[in-house]
Amino acid sequence: MEEMRFDGRVAVITGAGRGLGRAYALLLAARGAKVVVNDLGGAIRGDLDAPGADISVAQSVVDEIVAAGGKAIANTDSVATPEGGKAIVQAALDQWGGIDVLVHNAGNVRYGSIRELSSADLHAVLDVHLLGAFHVVQAAFGPMCDAGYGRIVLTSSVGGLYGNERCVNYGISKSAMLGLNNIAALEGEEHNVKCNVIVPGAVTRMAEGIDISQYPPMEPELVAPVVGWLSHEDCPVTGEMFASMAGRVARMFVAETDGVYRPHWTIEDVAAASEAFHDKAKLHDFGLHGHVDHIGYSFKMATAGADA
């Protein structure tokens, strides 16, 4: 297969100073993309003024890219505000006149159970993972649609899709990427703007405090090619979600069982039918236009049941 390159393309990658984001930036730049390396350089909790904050983190990745013959600029605006999201995208527009690829990877972690999590810790994580995704997508969406081209990659997590204890703020944010992804894919469809989700698993700063001694190889570089594919002009999919962990790549999706139709229901009827509508023998993957297809299938079942 011919090498999939990004010559002439402009990519914006948030949280690109370390870990996964850095791997994405280095790969896309090595394949010819001009890259805006966005990173606050802050502590893992997301406190810019906390010990360890370093705004030179983004520049260090830029230096790596430039030293290898690529093109990149550093940006330290925060995704957590609408103004920051606009400024990150504007950096690409000002420097290179456009934006072709957006990868939202920026993140922070503040642990706490449902009962104990403070409002400050809830909003600090929502602001970066959830609102941050919207801020940069909204800023990039207009220029992409106007240009008739764009590739967006959002970041979810197994902690958001399947849940994880003491990570409620993170889980809420990451599960919300499904909704944003689907809507961006639908609204971008007529403009050749595609949006997909990566569900990565890699050993980065977020694994701090976890015993990884029995883990298989889980470098960020194992995930980067999947993001590269989703970012490329030849990628055929939109509105989909892909897991990449320890060398395994898989499509993930929301599915429905076949379901049960009755013209009238009581609570007891629902209880009696529970085993039947839990039956996974037949699953439906309605895909990008699932909103319409779900309604259509439900109506079809109701019509068929009424005619029976």
How many C-beta neighbours within 10 Å does residue 279 have?
13
Amino acid at 247: G
Catalytic residue among 24, 149, 170, 261: 170
**Which is it for strands 101-103 and 150-155: parallel, antiparallel or unpaired?**
parallel
Spatial contact of 222 and 211, defined as CB atoms under 8 Å apart: no
Round to whole Å and give the CA distance between 55 and 57.
5
How many C-beta neighbours within 10 Å does residue 174 have?
27
Instruction: Please spell the DSSP secondary structure of 65-76, one letter per residue.
Output: HHHTT-EEEEE-
170 is an active site residue: yes
Spatial contact of 37 and 77, defined as CB atoms under 8 Å apart: no
**Lookup result for tokens 């990566």:** 198
Which pair of tokens denotes residue 71?
Answer: 């093109």
Residue numbers annotated as active site: 170
